Structure 1
Amino acid sequence: MLAGIALGDSIAVDGCCLTVTDHDGATWTADVITTTLAATTLGSLTSGDRVNLERAVRADGRLDGHIVQGHVDGVGEIVDREEQNGTTLLRIALPAELSRYVVARGSLAVDGVSLTVADVSGRVAVIGLIPETLARTTLGRRSVGAPVNLEVDVLAKYVEKLLAGQGAQR
């Protein structure tokens, strides 16, 4: 994780992009402002909690999944967890202001993990997790009632803003 890390580089913690302010090759430090603590699940973490970590994507590499910036848009809650034929289905309650950006077969980052939305019903998104995702991320340990950081597709937000601006120019 820290190979080649430099001061100022970004590491996402449960989907929250943080800037490396110190490192010694084995550990790293980041400053977190109160706004981030209030708007994400980072403020509820305690020493020893497992988190998802991800380095920033390089522009000259492959882009798997969707564009995830590490800019958490809101906090959702796991409202149901169901095992179904080798798949774990998570139902996540979305904040009202984010539900318009989430569509079936679209993308949603949950605690920094880029996932495909299986279905949406009102303000609840259904995510299907395969065993590999359950094993490699903290989502395998999340239970009903757990808060999760959510990042919606940034392209949807840009389209919305562009369309709103188009209406204002007419």
Structure 2
Amino acid sequence: MFTGIVEELGEIVATAPASLSIRGKLITSDAHHGDSIAVNGVCLTVTAVTDDVFTVDVMGETYKRTALDTLKPGDQVNLERAATLSTRMGGHLVQGHVDAVGEILRREPEAEWETVTFRVPEALTKYIVEKGSITIDGVSLTVVAVKGEEFSVGLIPTTMQLTTLGRKRPGDPVHIETDIIAKHVEKLLEAKS
């Protein structure tokens, strides 16, 4: 479980058909074999740690459901260690289980922030509500508007500076994880029918 508060921008060091190696000085400071780390919002298991680089295995299914296969050495990624029972809940409950790959449609700079609009598969739209929580590339955000298959969030300067969302452009893919509570409520209501 994660909070959606990115701890560090990591750098892809190496890619292989079934693994990624990522440099992250803060993340590796206490990382061990078997730990869960969110990489752009995808929960992955550490298989090795050497100095400030950790390696994670990536299954074919994960590559199919995410955009991790587009990463190359030198790319930056959002990193977050798994939450503990003493972790502050600054974001919201994030599983690290990506629902779909969305796309950035447009960026609209304002005086002190930026509004970014995304498109998601139609099947996800029922879980996205105005003022609700959403995770984009592992970043916990609040939805400001929803219209059909599009939704918008506001990015403050800190989020743009400390996450990859400040560098992504229209057309770029992003990992979308909707709020788990909405999915559980839906399942419970279906069971009552």
Q: So what's the TM-score if we normalise by structure 1?
A: 0.96
Query: SS in structure 2 opposite 1:155?
Result: helix
- Residue 103 (structure 2) aligns with: 77
CA contact (8 A) 2:113 2:156 kept: yes
In structure 2, what is the Cα distance between the partners aligned to 1:64 and 1:151? 17
Identity of counterpart residues, as a percentage? 47
**1:105 is aligned with what amino acid?**
K
Instruction: State yes or no: 1:39 paired with 2:65.
Output: yes
Query: SS in structure 2 opposite 1:109?
Result: strand
Q: Residue by residue, what CA displacement relative to the aligned partner does 1:13-70 show, whole Å, maximum 9, x if unpaired?
A: 1000000011123111111011111110101111111110111111222111111111
1:90 deviation in Å? 0.6
In structure 2, what is the Cα distance between the partners aligned to 1:116 and 1:25? 36
Q: Residue by residue, what CA displacement relative to the aligned partner does 1:118-167 show, whole Å, maximum 9, x if unpaired?
A: 11011111010000000000000010001100000000000000000011
The 5 A counterparts of 1:112-123 are: 112-123=138-149
Moved over 4 A (4+): none
**1:11 is aligned with what amino acid?**
I
The 5 A counterparts of 1:25-64 are: 25-64=51-90
Q: How many residues align?
A: 167
Instruction: State yes or no: 1:19 paired with 2:45.
Output: yes
In structure 1, what is the Cα distance between the partners aligned to 2:87 and 2:165? 26
In structure 2, what is the Cα distance between the partners aligned to 1:96 and 1:116? 19
Q: Which residue of the other structure, out of 96, 112, 123, is the alignment partner of 1:97? A: 123
In structure 1, what is the Cα distance between the partners aligned to 2:81 and 2:185? 27
CA contact (8 A) 2:29 2:52 kept: no
**1:82 is aligned with what amino acid?**
E
Structure 2, gaps ≥5 residues long: 1-26
**2:38 is aligned with what amino acid?**
A
> How large is the Cα RMSD of the aligned pairs?
0.8
**2:70 is aligned with what amino acid?**
S
1:2 deviation in Å? 1.5
